[in-house]
Amino acid sequence: MRIAIISDVHANQEALEKVLRDIEQQGAEAIHFLGDAVGYGCNPDECVSLIAKHCDIKLLGNHDYVALGLESTESFNQAAQDSLNWTQARIKQRTVETMSDFEITASYLDYYLVHATPEEPDRWQYLFDAGQAQEQFEHFSQSVCFVGHSHFPAIFVLGNDGIVSMHFKNKLVWRQEKRYIINVGSVGQPRDKDNRACYVIADSDSREVRFRRVQYDIDKTQKKMRKARLPEFLIERLAAGV
């Protein structure tokens, strides 16, 4: 079964629409969303509505937690705080109600799905290296765990020797004797110096995971964000992909 896994849309409607079109062309049978529908961008209502309509499993991220009033903006940097205040002031009640049905973790086939980490999913820890990923394998039982949160596409592999290694490649065929944590990257705000939207197609029959990169109209998104008076830092980073 071929599924698409998307994460960190961050209210970027242009990127999400292009990714949904690409997923359709890839022939995925289901779409799962790993959280952070809102924050940073200027179309939270439109993005939550698209996610609710197209995605089967829908998870919450740390930005969504703030939008739902479950957490304060204390731990966020200034630009993120400003965009979350902007979001909270404008988001529709109906959008908040839709998001309140989203989950914290989920499992599907032999996959575990979570926004940040399997250990304490609502503490929003980051996985940037193999050392940080190492202990996470004890906190889920499935073969493959898909995460988002850092906006960096990456593959962590737990080998037979118990050692975790980190890889960056566009395609992986996973082996039954190994286990994996895969960061699917970000649809709405990629940070790996590639400004195209990023997501993953996973095929449980061929055990193949492919990263897809999709170009979208960044210029249009930036113009809308400027008009909305969102922080310039957040506008410029979309083009730089950092």
Q: Which residues bind Zn ion (CB under 5 A)?
A: 8, 36
Nearer to Zn ion, 8 or 14 (CB): 8
Tokens of 65: 């937690």
Q: How far is the CB of 63 from Zn ion (least distance, A)?
A: 6
* H or E element in which residue 51 lies: helix 44-54
Residue 151 in contact with residue 8, Cβ under 8 Å?
yes
Computed on alpha carbons and rounded to an integer, the radius of gyration of the chain in Å comes to 17
Q: Phi first, then psi: give them for residue 126, nearest 5 degrees.
A: -105, 145
Output the 3-class SS for 24-48. HHHCCCEEEECCCCCCCCCCHHHHH
Nearer to Zn ion, 14 or 36 (CB): 36
Q: How far is the CB of 175 from Zn ion (least distance, A)?
A: 30
Q: How far is the CB of 102 from Zn ion (least distance, A)?
A: 14
Q: How far is the CB of 151 from Zn ion (least distance, A)?
A: 6
Q: How far is the CB of 198 from Zn ion (least distance, A)?
A: 12
* H or E element in which residue 160 lies: none
* H or E element in which residue 50 lies: helix 44-54
* H or E element in which residue 111 lies: strand 111-114
What is the C-alpha separation between 150 and 201, in angstroms, rounded?
19
Residue 143 in contact with residue 112, Cβ under 8 Å?
no
What is the C-alpha separation between 48 and 44, in angstroms, rounded?
6
Nearer to Zn ion, 60 or 172 (CB): 60
CA atoms lying within 13 Å on the CB side of residue 13: 15
